[in-house]
Each structure stands twice: as C-alpha cells, then as structure tokens.
Amino acid sequence: MEMRQRLLELVRAHTTHMSVVLSSGRSSNVYVDCRMITLHPEGALLSARALLGLLDATGWRADAIGGPTLGADPICGALAVVSQLQGRPIPTFIVRKERKAHGRGRQIEGPIPEGAQVVLVDDVATTGGSLLKAARALREEGHTVVGAMVLVDRGEGALEALEEEGIPLRSVFSLQDIV
C-alpha cells in the first residue's frame, strides 16, 4: 500500500464525529486526533515521510523545521530522525506558548541556527492561530519563516490568515480528504 494512502487510513481511523471545542475555541462535529497518529511508531514514520515529501514539493529551503507545542512535538522528533536516515539531517525545534520564567528563559527550544530560514509544522490547522503565534516568536528572534506545513488543514481560515502574514501553508490532507 502506498505511504500516503496508509497515512490517510490512520487519520480516518482517528477521526471522530462528535461535538468538540477545538483549540481555536470553535465548535466542530469532527475531531481529528493526530496525536494518536504522530505518537505511534508507524504513524510517526509515515507523517515524517509525508511532510518531508511535501517540503521537497514546495522547494522551500529549511535550515530547521519546528512548530508550536504540543501538536508539533512528536512530529519534530520524527522529522529529525527520518531526515537523518534519509541523509539530509534537518534540525528541529519547538515553540513554547510563552517564554520560560526559569532556566535560560527560552520560548524556542532546539538546535536552530541564528537567522535561520525555518518551516513551521503542526498536526492540524484550523484558524492558524498557533502557527501565527509561533511565527511571531521566531521572527522576534531573527528567523525567517518561509512556509508552514500541517498534516490536516481543516479549511477554516488558516490558509488565508497565514498567507496574510506572508507564510504559505501546505497540507498533506484537507478535512474533505478525511470525511
């Protein structure tokens, strides 16, 4: 079975039709639980391969890839390992919701080079709020955000919100692919 098709099967298997409140604050009758995929060995591998393939298709140059905690956390780990296994290691990073009040006081964690060209990644995009917040933190630290990638774009404004900030968004799947 083709990799993308198997990943779609996993996404569909972890999509629930029930009333939920999303992280954006919006209500929905469809919940895509990508963490059940990205925290599973097969799902993590397939997700990383799909996202690296998407990165190749965009032509974006990425010195590092990362995104907002918590959705991006398992994706970043998988991307770091799979990119290394593919012979093209790409450092990854996580953007905290807020700067730490202790330790080094960082908001961005990971081996990200100074002034890096970065690509954002997340599991699901709805309004794009989490990705935009991460993009602002990265820009404040002197990095250039060249694009954003997600496993699933719900089609509820993230594409437009990110493009308004000069950040193109690409997704492996749309919500229509899943339901």
CATH number at residue 135: 3.40.50.2020
Q: Is 130 annotated as a binding residue?
A: yes
In the chain, the N- to C-terminal Cα span, in Å, equals 20
Count: domains in the chain? 1
Q: Is 122 annotated as a binding residue?
A: yes
| Burial grade of 110 (CB within 10 A; 0-12, 13-18, 19 or more) | middle
**pLDDT (tens digit per residue) in 7-54:** 999 999 999 998 988 878 888 899 999 999 999 999 999 999 999 999
Q: Is 126 annotated as a binding residue?
A: yes
pTM attached to this predicted model: 0.95
Which of 69-73, 103-107, 135-139 has the weakest average pLDDT? 103-107
Q: Is 133 annotated as a binding residue?
A: no
Of the two residues 76 and 103, the one the predictor is more confident about is 76
Torsion, CA 64, CA 68, CA 71, CA 75, rounded to 10: 10
Determine the Cα–Cα distance for residues 47 and 97; give it in Å rounded to an integer. Answer: 23
pLDDT at 64: 99
Instruction: Give the pLDDT band (50/70/90) at residue 104.
Output: confident
Q: Is 96 annotated as a binding residue?
A: yes
DSSP state of 68: E
pLDDT at 109: 97
Measured over the CA atoms of residue 31, residue 179, residue 158 and residue 166, the dihedral's sign is positive
Q: Is 69 annotated as a binding residue?
A: no
pLDDT at 91: 98
Domain residues for the domain of 139 are 3-178
**pLDDT (tens digit per residue) in 124-173:** 999 999 999 999 999 999 999 999 999 999 999 999 999 999 999 999 99
pLDDT at 44: 99
pLDDT at 26: 83
